[in-house]
A and B are shown apart, each in its own frame.
Chain A
């Protein structure tokens, strides 16, 4: 098999698996700050037990995030050495900055979060929680800076030619605030908050269905509904803004998102459809002119289509189209679920409607799926470029490794990740089944 493809599969697999965890820890981080803050303010022991319970889950998720994250940093060098030589001057500093500014902060203060309950004051523990949550968000910022630069390179110039060509930094702030960074980071943050909120909703709904830890579940759920509504609605805004930027900066990707082929023509928006890449035709349910409207506020304005690009500069269309549309559909579904939760809360039936609680239990999968699909469509949509317009993916792979190397590591990762995932689910289930401590017995007292 081909080295480039194998390396891409491996990168996709390892990033995809890693990306299950950081969004959850970022989302739960926000949740922990709100909960522990409420505890400090109200002195209500319920919030104390809640914090302790969610911190334990947070610790488990964080550990897996760390264990799988280090693989990413290694892979730039192991599998994409030519890429690393090309972008090191620009891209490396963002990774180093993540380590120095964010990662030390997170893992340092996580120690206090997990082991420091009796070693530091309550205030200090809360400060540690805030710093861990801040560190987790800050970490994402640097990683998204690096990724966005790959999508919309800026603030650099190219030095040298042929296989010694590389990008060198000209303006650090332009690299940092490259054209797609702000859209991308806000979109990622909302995805993370959604992941955290729906995770909490799911576990809480599960307790309510089982008629266990009711006070705990209700209080957790209330916070989660607020975060879910806010993040799901904002996700619509950041999603629109992101697509708008993609239209401006990566027109081939947007055309692939929408299966839009004519070089210059007004474009409709497909709610769903199928792309026939061979005949360059997309069929499905289309709102005519709506894509033009979303991009230009004018339903007649032409949108750049795939035919404006040479065949070898186009991403694989159907797979990008499908993952993008599925992501959008899930985004809409999440808005619906969170609004319904809010309405039911207002009506007083949120904690008792069994079918809706069942929906909430399973809803945990949706943000995860949307995050994966969104990342997938963004990255596959960038193809055939590793750095958009500058370096092709086929030229980015390591030259000193063979396909056999990657097959070996790919099989290794598949085995290990299957094992890790099984263990993660097993231990997560254990923790959830065990539930928060000290709530069941004192429920009456807490309720009063």
Chain B
């Protein structure tokens, strides 16, 4: 891998950071949604919802901004993937819409059927959204058929290959683990000790998926590890990944939930870094016609736009990080149900 730090590569990294931010933040509330139906009482479900209440909306903005940045920096990738994954994208939209309204509507009525309906909707749409995001990533890594103009020439069923589905399931497992760890942080008492049990189960689930996906990648998607083979020092990334995952049960065992959460974040960053390293400098791999792939040069906006965007990001992101941090600080601590709760 020849790594040149030009504007195109900077934007490759910045888009990666935006999506890593999205995974770390929305990841735990998608995971919370996936775990939602494991709680049975209304009280517990409300606590689950209120754990993510003030922040889930802001978390989703990372996706919106990531999408916008992709549009601006690599319009060809945005156009090819969004139109190529049409049905999947529409289902993702449905997932995100139902999730948003389920969170918002669920506790507004007392009726049992009403709450049950939105509970199911919240959980199913969270799982569906995570799965689809993962399947999209899996397809990008596996490669999709593109023509010389960079247009997708497959169909919906092209996207349902076993490898992509495997990555999708791994993503669900990862978010569930991440969500469970977050919930341990936000809950107390009997509910918390039950969630502790989930953390262990989700870690097992995630590790099984992770190992399977890694083996499948090594065997069937060798191009994803080519850059690491060429630059052995990069092996530190999967190593850090494994250490971060292994550290989670240790921190949970010692009751250090926040450190477990940081470990989980670190493992997510490492996973996305692995993905990025595997892809670089490609953004969407064309399979079978590799020559038609979209990379950070043939799919990018002009240097002028990339430069302007860099200024926008340099001005905006410190502010975003500052107030995101303050909002998490304001809503720190265990969830208490009160008059402003869901």
Question: Given A105-B323, A115-B331, A400-B152, is A88 in contact with B301 using a C-beta cutoff of 8 Å?
Answer: yes
Asked if A355 is an interface residue, CB under 8 A from chain B, the answer is: no
Contact of B340 with A103 in the complex, beta carbons under 8 Å:
no
How many residue pairs, one in A and one in B, have C-beta atoms under 8 Å apart?
226
Residue from A81, A98, A163, A408 in contact with B87 in the complex, judged by beta carbons closer than 8 Å: A408
Contact of B94 with A416 in the complex, beta carbons under 8 Å:
yes
Contact of A67 with B96 in the complex, beta carbons under 8 Å:
yes
Closest to A170 in B: B304
Contact of A400 with B84 in the complex, beta carbons under 8 Å:
yes
Question: Given A85-B75, A88-B301, A93-B312, is A99 in contact with B68 using a C-beta cutoff of 8 Å?
Answer: yes
Contact of A100 with B71 in the complex, beta carbons under 8 Å:
no
Q: Which residues of the other chain, B, contact A340 by a CB distance below 8 angstroms? A: none
Closest to A430 in B: B108
Q: In the complex, how many angstroms separate the beta carbon of A22 from the nearest chain B beta carbon?
A: 14
Q: Which residues of the other chain, B, contact A401 by a CB distance below 8 angstroms? A: 83, 86
Asked if B309 is an interface residue, CB under 8 A from chain A, the answer is: yes
Residue from B58, B101, B153 in contact with A108 in the complex, judged by beta carbons closer than 8 Å: B58
Q: Which residues of the other chain, B, contact A159 by a CB distance below 8 angstroms? A: 302
A164 to B89, CA, bound (A): 25
Interface positions, chain A 268-315, Cβ under 8 Å from B, are: none
Contact of B93 with A66 in the complex, beta carbons under 8 Å:
no
Q: Per-residue CB proximity of B54-92 to A under 8 Å, as 1/0?
A: 110110110111011101111110111111101101101
Q: In the complex, how many angstroms separate the beta carbon of A162 from the nearest chain B beta carbon?
A: 10
Contact of A117 with B340 in the complex, beta carbons under 8 Å:
yes
5 contacts between A and B (CB under 8 A): A70-B93, A81-B80, A88-B76, A116-B330, A400-B86
Q: Which of B191-199, B239-247, B260-268, B313-321 has 4 or more CB atoms under 8 Å from chain A?
A: B313-321
Closest to B147 in A: A400
Question: Given A73-B67, A73-B68, A92-B78, is A100 in contact with B316 using a C-beta cutoff of 8 Å?
Answer: yes
Q: Which residues of the other chain, A, contact B119 by a CB distance below 8 angstroms? A: none
Q: Which residues of the other chain, B, contact A81 by a CB distance below 8 angstroms? A: 79-80, 82-83, 151
Q: Which residues of the other chain, A, contact B68 by a CB distance below 8 angstroms? A: 73, 92, 95-99
Most buried by A among B83, B90, B98, B104: B83
A135 to B74, CA, bound (A): 26
Question: Given A63-B101, A67-B101, A423-B101, is A96 in contact with B93 using a C-beta cutoff of 8 Å?
Answer: no
Closest to A405 in B: B86
Q: Which residues of the other chain, B, contact A64 by a CB distance below 8 angstroms? A: 101
Q: In the complex, how many angstroms separate the beta carbon of B110 from the nearest chain A beta carbon?
A: 11
Q: Per-residue CB proximity of A430-444 to B under 8 Å, as 1/0?
A: 100000000000000
Contact of A120 with B330 in the complex, beta carbons under 8 Å:
yes
Closest 3 CB pairs of A and B: A88-B75, A77-B82, A92-B72
Residue from A85, A115, A172 in contact with B340 in the complex, judged by beta carbons closer than 8 Å: A115
Residue from B86, B96, B105, B313 in contact with A427 in the complex, judged by beta carbons closer than 8 Å: B105
Asked if B116 is an interface residue, CB under 8 A from chain A, the answer is: no
Q: In the complex, how many angstroms separate the beta carbon of B210 from the nearest chain A beta carbon?
A: 29
Contact of A88 with B65 in the complex, beta carbons under 8 Å:
no
Q: In the complex, how many angstroms separate the beta carbon of A10 from the nearest chain B beta carbon?
A: 10
Q: Which residues of the other chain, A, contact B149 by a CB distance below 8 angstroms? A: 163-164
Asked if A76 is an interface residue, CB under 8 A from chain B, the answer is: yes
Residue from B61, B79, B104, B340 in contact with A60 in the complex, judged by beta carbons closer than 8 Å: B104
Q: Per-residue CB proximity of A74-105 to B under 8 Å, as 1/0?
A: 10111101101101111111011111110111
Residue from A76, A101, A120 in contact with B71 in the complex, judged by beta carbons closer than 8 Å: A76
Interface positions, chain A 111-146, Cβ under 8 Å from B, are: 111-112, 114-120
Q: In the complex, how many angstroms separate the beta carbon of B90 from the nearest chain A beta carbon?
A: 4
Contact of B90 with A408 in the complex, beta carbons under 8 Å:
yes
Q: Per-residue CB proximity of B89-126 to A under 8 Å, as 1/0?
A: 11011101110110011001100000000000000000
Q: Which residues of the other chain, B, contact A73 by a CB distance below 8 angstroms? A: 64, 67-68, 71
Q: Which residues of the other chain, B, contact A79 by a CB distance below 8 angstroms? A: 83
Contact of B79 with A88 in the complex, beta carbons under 8 Å:
yes
Closest to A64 in B: B101
Q: Which residues of the other chain, B, contact A117 by a CB distance below 8 angstroms? A: 339-340
Q: In the complex, how many angstroms separate the beta carbon of B333 from the nearest chain A beta carbon?
A: 10
Contact of A400 with B323 in the complex, beta carbons under 8 Å:
no
Closest to A100 in B: B316
A427 to B105, CA, bound (A): 8
Asked if B308 is an interface residue, CB under 8 A from chain A, the answer is: yes
Contact of A416 with B105 in the complex, beta carbons under 8 Å:
no
Q: Which residues of the other chain, B, contact A103 by a CB distance below 8 angstroms? A: 61, 64-65
A73 to B70, CA, bound (A): 11
Contact of B86 with A78 in the complex, beta carbons under 8 Å:
yes
Contact of A77 with B79 in the complex, beta carbons under 8 Å:
yes
Q: Per-residue CB proximity of B281-310 to A under 8 Å, as 1/0?
A: 000000000000000000001101100110
A84 to B77, CA, bound (A): 10
A101 to B319, CA, bound (A): 8
Q: Which residues of the other chain, B, contact A69 by a CB distance below 8 angstroms? A: 64
